[in-house]
């Protein structure tokens, strides 16, 4: 490192966590550039967000793969829901995909917001449960009548499982259902 005259380090951040630090060296003396610091901080955060998106996409692929295994493990159906806000949720995956779930007659609704595909009364009840899971960041277990699904008075047990990001925010809800 002989002859080095200037250096700076650029940490890549994800929230408050430092993922990696890039070090830059020069043999020339560089004057401080006051505007450069703000640009480097913005670049650092953007790289951290990009790495988080890559991790989230990988996690989603793993969850979608797991969706196909749920019925084999004693569950009758499952759904992966993306949390856009406390009032907006999007259906990202349904298993088994070859038959409609309750309240999704004829169309699984993948990619659509749930308030666009559920009847208003059903969405209102669904929204309350989803908001509870997002706020508490803890699983929720419900037992209700499966009339919208089977029409025969059987009960369905639903497990709502929050999926959290690195900053402990609920970004997705994984719902699994079993008829009894």
Domains in the chain, please, with CATH?
Answer: 6-63 (no CATH), 70-179 (3.30.450.20)
pLDDT band, residue 106 (cuts 50/70/90): very low
pLDDT band, residue 130 (cuts 50/70/90): very high
Structure tokens at 13: 């951040």
Query: CB count, 10 Å around CB of 160?
Result: 21
| pTM greater than 0.75 | no
The counts of H helices and E strands in the chain are 3, 7
- The answer to whether 176 and 77 are in contact (CB under 8 A) is yes
Structure letter (DSSP) for residue 73 = G
Structure tokens at 179: 């008829």
Summarize the confidence of residues 158-179 as an average pLDDT.
82
The pLDDT of residue 47 is: 79
**Nearest-angstrom CA–CA distance, 137 and 161:** 8
Q: Is the pLDDT of residue 135 over 90?
A: yes
């Amino acid at each position: 490192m002989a002859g080095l005259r200037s250096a700076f380090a650029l940490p890549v951040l994800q929230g408050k966590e430092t993922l990696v630090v890039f070090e830059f060296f020069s043999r020339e003396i560089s004057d401080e550039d006051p505007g450069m610091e703000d640009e480097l901080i913005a670049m650092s955060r953007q790289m951290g967000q990009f790495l988080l998106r890559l991790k989230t996409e990988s996690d989603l692929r793993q969850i979608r793969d797991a969706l196909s295994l749920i019925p084999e493990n004693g569950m009758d159906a499952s759904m992966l829901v993306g949390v856009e806000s406390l009032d907006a949720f999007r259906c990202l995956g349904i298993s088994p995909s070859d038959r409609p779930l309750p309240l999704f007659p004829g169309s699984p609704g993948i990619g659509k917001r749930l308030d666009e595909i559920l009847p208003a009364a059903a969405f209102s009840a669904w929204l309350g449960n989803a908001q509870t899971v997002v706020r508490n960041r803890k699983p929720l277990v419900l037992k209700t009548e499966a009339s919208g699904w089977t029409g025969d008075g059987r009960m369905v047990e639903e497990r709502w499982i929050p999926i959290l990001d690195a900053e402990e925010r609920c970004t997705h809800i994984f719902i699994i259902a079993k008829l009894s």
